[in-house]
Structure 1
Amino acid sequence: MNPGDQWHDDTSASPRESPYLRARIPRILLPNCEVQRPKEPTMFMTTVELPVDILLAIFGYLTPNDILIVRQTCKKLFEITHLRSLWHRLMQSHVLEENIPVPGLGQRPLESLTAGEIERHTFQALRFRQNWISESPMPTTEVSLSTVPNSRIVSLQFLSNSGCQWLISLTMVTPLTGPRLFLLQCWDLQTPSPTCVALRELRQIGSMAATNNPSGSAVLAVQCPQHSIQILSISPNPSNPVNGFVTLASFRDDISTPHLFTGSTLLTGDVNSRFRLWKIENPQTKIELQNPDHHQAERVLAALLDERFVVVVRSTTLEVYELPRVTPETMQERVLHPIVQHRWPWRIDTVVISAQAVWPRTQLRLPAPINILIRFGSLFPWPINLLHHYELRPNTFYVQSNSISEENLPFQFPPILRQTFGSPVRLFAPTDLVLGSCGSAMWIDSHTEDYFGHSNCGQRLAGKYSSGLMAKDHEDEEATLSDQLASTAATSVYRVHEADSWVRLALDECEGRVAIGHVHGEISILGYA
């Protein structure tokens, strides 16, 4: 003890009871002494104790599969993971913003769906996308439609209108005796076994265009010898398929061929390769699309129509025209020249064009990216064995309220070459190209050596998906054709067969359906959703 220290009379107290001794005696000398410290209040909460809005914010960063795991932990999280607001956010972030179609949703808005319906559609869309972009997608359903003997499919197109899902087919029938005829049919796809709800027999047909914006009752524009162009609709509940097609209007002014049908606007071309836009409500007023740089008129191979402009693909050029803002008082015939044009490196043999539905731009009604799939021709009687995917990307500096000009274009010009695919086609072998509304390209070609060991016959149904989400793409620089790597390994192969009987192709990407027309008149419908 040091001098000055005072002795505390705690001899009667044990080390456990004396605070002074507990402080002075080392802990090692008191093996049985448990130090009692005041219990501090905890600053942490368990996950279950968090407020519901905080949990919903956290769960918004999880995947739908993670939500199913969280759901199995406790009763509270089980109830929270069934909330509609959570699945609405998951549907928006994992499906809509990723530009994934939702099969079975149709035109129903999300606001009309329950939490269970949104959850079911979310998982169905994700499973469909995983299958659709795989190397060998597997169809979940397959249906065959038989028409008549001695026939050949000429045209196929999917249509969706007012909750109806249809397939329009045009079949050429060559009987053993007598002249050939054409069968125009509409198939209802909302039943497990599609049925023909409309049928019309045509002795002769020049061309047909199905509307790509079926907001009204008109769905088809058909060129017939009796009437220049007939506008047809489909009866909702016909007693007999023969009465299913209803003629809404007939135009006899001149012999013209329909090339594009959007809403109530038609793009038609005559024998002199003059192409004009006109509305079926006012057929007398026509707007001619004319390119003065062409020494001789070139026919239009494909076109895409918007409220403000029309994009035209000819054999050697890509052109953008501004459509005038016409009122009933100012309607008059006029000639339009392209605001801007791009010349292709070679003459086009086959081309398809389609606007890609990108969810943020669709909501804001901004111009959507335009996909163009091209097979160029060659100096020989067959086209080249490559497919080129071009894209017109939206111009972020485009001002919709101003007139379209070279300084105010809705798209970046010239188009960007996104990718080149190897797609061999044998001489005189049938082939076809289609583009989906969500970025899928599909084609029929003759690349069958990898599957059958020979190349004298056989066909392949292949495809490629492009998201169209520019923020996630890293292909901002335009590539030249020599820089592109033509590869068949990167594509999805949907089906192959050891014959040359496929002649036509149709794609409904929103519902995950593909229709294949055969040379003997059969139609195969493959479902991947």
Structure 2
Amino acid sequence: MDELTIGSHIRDRSPSLDTIPLDILFDIFQLLPIQSVLALRQTSKSFDAITRLRSLWVLLLRTLVQEQNIPIPYFDEKSPESLSASELERFTCRALALRINWTNPNPNPKREIRFQVGAAVKDPDVFFLEFLPGRGNRWLVSVTSEAFRKCIVQCWDLTALQPVCIAKLTYTNGGGNNSVIINNDPSSPAIMAIQSKPAVTETVTIDFEEKDPESAFVPLSAIDGRREIHLLSGSTLVTKNPTLDGKVSIWDISDQPYEKIQLMSPSLLQEYDCSAMHLCDDYLIIFFIWTVELYSTIPRPTNIATPGVPISYPLAQYSFQYQIIDNVNMSKQVSWHAARLHRPSPINIVIRARTTYLGGEHTLHHFVLDPNPSYVPGMETSLYNLPYLVQPTLVQTIYSPVWSEPRSAVALGHDTVLLLDNHDPDEDHGMEYRDLQHQQLAGRILTTTGGSPTSQHGSHRSMAFSAQAGNYWNGAAMDEESGRIVVSGVEGTITLFEYI
């Protein structure tokens, strides 16, 4: 039954709730809980027909989910125009159900599974966990250090009843924690970059149809030389020279890898580590230990011909005043309105800092890098057309007694910060680290600079996903879109929590 038929049927009836025009009914439905919309389906044939209209679910998906910046489970960037009414209904209901559970003070896991990285691995330390973006929200990548001598990269199928390793690669542990980077573009053939040998950076893909896990990783290209790898986005690889000159290089790996441009800071602060990066269009934002810098990634000709790779200097720079920064996570907020207008989205920055090298108070500082209102999309990024206001805005400070050093002790996602929170449950304020008796997998919904939640469903600011006695978790990762969290244990275990 189409909308015209329904409207005619309603107008022919005597005055009742069923006679309300469709446009007014749609306005009412947007204000109702989704359960009430579905309950109306049981009241009459007219409402049953109306609540199955494709146009209604296009509206509800947009207003209740997309405009509220709520992740859509397994949506995989599908176009609403390509979906049927039942598909739109399913995506809308799943997104709202996950959001309600996810933002509950004590989210209820629908599934919890613990698995080992390998029975034959000696002294395992899972120091890296990350979900592969896209691809049906199906795959998890872990990197395990075995007795500090070699590393084992594994790709896990999480849709199996018990997660299965479908790809496995072993390499010499010479690259430290920056030895594996996942491509943030799911459409790229290069799935990850690996510092697989002391002086070789490889890009590899995964043959998901290969039956032998030992043969499933397929090399694509290689770059000679020792370097830290920091970001892989599509065909762009960003690396840093580990020596004190600290040059950051941008590589094109689409065909034969070549160095496209070098980034250098006149302040010479690049001798320190890169903590986080964000690449978009023709600019790159880099967080070093104490500075955040914005660079153009387009090589520009100069009046003086110089040999070698083109060099780019920062267009803008801001320095932080914290004495010791242990960890930085940076993630672009998902903004339906910004994407619709082709404008930059705000960027969340979470800094874990402490007061002294021997310990001191640990705090998480949440900053937001706000888009520059004067930025003109489509125009080249330059000193006069910056996409962001490079001085971040401090939104909130969260006390957190996180002591573990791995970079995955704090994870930043869609609009949630996840952390391994070590504390004594009998203490309300502070603790001695030697007395740690309890470990909590905690989360917090991040707010915008105005202090309002990024979603109307995020009324609870803090969540406790799980807890355990002792201090055996050493890393965490999350995929808000699929409602999954994983934590790694010091004994080589991975625990998967699913919330939908």
- Per the normalisation by structure 2, the TM-score is 0.85
Range moving further from structure 2, 229-238 or 332-341: 332-341
Closer, same or farther in 2 for the Cα pair 1:464/1:473, shift >3 Å?
Answer: closer
Range moving further from structure 2, 423-432 or 459-468: 423-432
Match of residue 193 from structure 1: 162
Contact 2:196 2:202 in 1 (8 A): yes
- Say yes or no: does 1:230 pair with 2:194: no
- Say yes or no: does 1:395 pair with 2:372: yes
Q: 1:341 aligns with which of 317, 322, 326?
A: 317
Instruction: List aligned pairs for 1:456-495, cutoff 5 A.
Output: 456-466=436-446, 468=448, 490-495=461-466
What amino acid maps onto 2:398 in structure 1?
F
Contact 2:425 2:437 in 1 (8 A): no
Match of residue 6 from structure 1: none
Alpha-carbon distance in 1 for matches of 2:405, 2:163: 32
Q: Write out per-residue CA displacement over residues 312-370 of structure 1, whole angstroms, 9 at most, x where no aligned residue.
A: 0011111111221689xxx9721111111111011422111111111122233321111
Once the two structures are TM-superposed, the CA of residue 180 in structure 1 deviates from its matched residue by: 3.3
Match of residue 121 from structure 1: 91
Match of residue 316 from structure 1: 290
Once the two structures are TM-superposed, the CA of residue 415 in structure 1 deviates from its matched residue by: 0.7
Q: SS where residue 486 of structure 2 aligns?
A: strand
- Say yes or no: does 1:204 pair with 2:204: no
Once the two structures are TM-superposed, the CA of residue 257 in structure 1 deviates from its matched residue by: 1.8
Q: SS where residue 295 of structure 2 aligns?
A: strand
Once the two structures are TM-superposed, the CA of residue 510 in structure 1 deviates from its matched residue by: 0.8
Alpha-carbon distance in 1 for matches of 2:158, 2:359: 36
Instruction: List aligned pairs for 1:69-468, cutoff 5 A.
Output: 69-149=39-119, 150-163=123-136, 165-174=138-147, 180-206=149-175, 207-225=179-197, 228-252=200-224, 254-272=225-243, 273-281=246-254, 282-294=256-268, 297-324=271-298, 333-346=309-322, 347-382=324-359, 384-426=361-403, 432-436=409-413, 438-450=414-426, 455-466=435-446, 468=448
Instruction: List aligned pairs for 1:44-59, cutoff 5 A.
Output: 45-59=15-29
Once the two structures are TM-superposed, the CA of residue 286 in structure 1 deviates from its matched residue by: 3.3
Alpha-carbon distance in 2 for matches of 1:169, 1:186: 7
Q: Write out per-residue CA displacement over residues 207-229 of structure 1, whole angstroms, 9 at most, x where no aligned residue.
A: 11111222211111111226511
Alpha-carbon distance in 1 for matches of 2:449, 2:160: 34
Q: Write out per-residue CA displacement over residues 413-445 of structure 1, whole angstroms, 9 at most, x where no aligned residue.
A: 411111111101358799711111x21111112
Q: Write out per-residue CA displacement over residues 439-491 of structure 1, whole angstroms, 9 at most, x where no aligned residue.
A: 111111212324999943332211111255969569xxxxxxxxxxxxxx952
Give the unaligned 5+ runs of structure 2.
Answer: 1-13, 302-306, 455-459
Q: SS where residue 116 of structure 1 aligns?
A: helix
What amino acid maps onto 2:474 in structure 1?
V
Once the two structures are TM-superposed, the CA of residue 80 in structure 1 deviates from its matched residue by: 1.1
Match of residue 20 from structure 1: none
Number of residues of Structure 1 aligned to a counterpart in Structure 2: 464
RMSD: 2.9
Q: SS where residue 185 of structure 2 aligns?
A: coil
Closer, same or farther in 2 for the Cα pair 1:121/1:450, shift >3 Å?
Answer: farther
Q: Write out per-residue CA displacement over residues 27-81 of structure 1, whole angstroms, 9 at most, x where no aligned residue.
A: xxxxxxxxxxxxxxxxx94332344455445434444233234333322122111
Alpha-carbon distance in 1 for matches of 2:406, 2:138: 31
What amino acid maps onto 2:250 in structure 1?
L
Alpha-carbon distance in 2 for matches of 1:348, 1:401: 35
Once the two structures are TM-superposed, the CA of residue 169 in structure 1 deviates from its matched residue by: 0.6
Match of residue 7 from structure 2: none
Contact 2:174 2:198 in 1 (8 A): no
Once the two structures are TM-superposed, the CA of residue 186 in structure 1 deviates from its matched residue by: 0.5
Closer, same or farther in 2 for the Cα pair 1:48/1:490, shift >3 Å?
Answer: closer
Once the two structures are TM-superposed, the CA of residue 269 in structure 1 deviates from its matched residue by: 1.3
Give the unaligned 5+ runs of structure 1.
Answer: 1-43, 475-488
Closer, same or farther in 2 for the Cα pair 1:188/1:291, shift >3 Å?
Answer: same
Match of residue 457 from structure 2: none
- Per the normalisation by structure 1, the TM-score is 0.81
Q: SS where residue 89 of structure 2 aligns?
A: helix
Closer, same or farther in 2 for the Cα pair 1:80/1:467, shift >3 Å?
Answer: farther
Q: SS where residue 423 of structure 2 aligns?
A: coil
What amino acid maps onto 1:448 in structure 2?
D
Q: SS where residue 349 of structure 1 aligns?
A: strand
Range moving further from structure 2, 221-230 or 364-373: 221-230
Once the two structures are TM-superposed, the CA of residue 198 in structure 1 deviates from its matched residue by: 0.4
What amino acid maps onto 1:366 in structure 2?
R
The answer to which structure has the higher strand fraction is 2
Alpha-carbon distance in 2 for matches of 1:425, 1:226: 32
Alpha-carbon distance in 2 for matches of 1:310, 1:302: 11
Closer, same or farther in 2 for the Cα pair 1:383/1:372, shift >3 Å?
Answer: farther
Q: SS where residue 78 of structure 2 aligns?
A: coil
Contact 2:221 2:257 in 1 (8 A): no
What amino acid maps onto 2:372 in structure 1?
N
Alpha-carbon distance in 1 for matches of 2:394, 2:114: 37
Closer, same or farther in 2 for the Cα pair 1:92/1:295, shift >3 Å?
Answer: closer
Contact 1:375 1:383 in 2 (8 A): no
Alpha-carbon distance in 2 for matches of 1:471, 1:321: 29
Contact 1:356 1:468 in 2 (8 A): no
Q: Write out per-residue CA displacement over residues 399-426 of structure 1, whole angstroms, 9 at most, x where no aligned residue.
A: 1233434543212341111111110135
Q: SS where residue 271 of structure 2 aligns?
A: coil
Contact 1:212 1:262 in 2 (8 A): yes
Q: SS where residue 374 of structure 1 aligns?
A: strand
Q: 2:490 aligns with which of 519, 522, 528?
A: 519
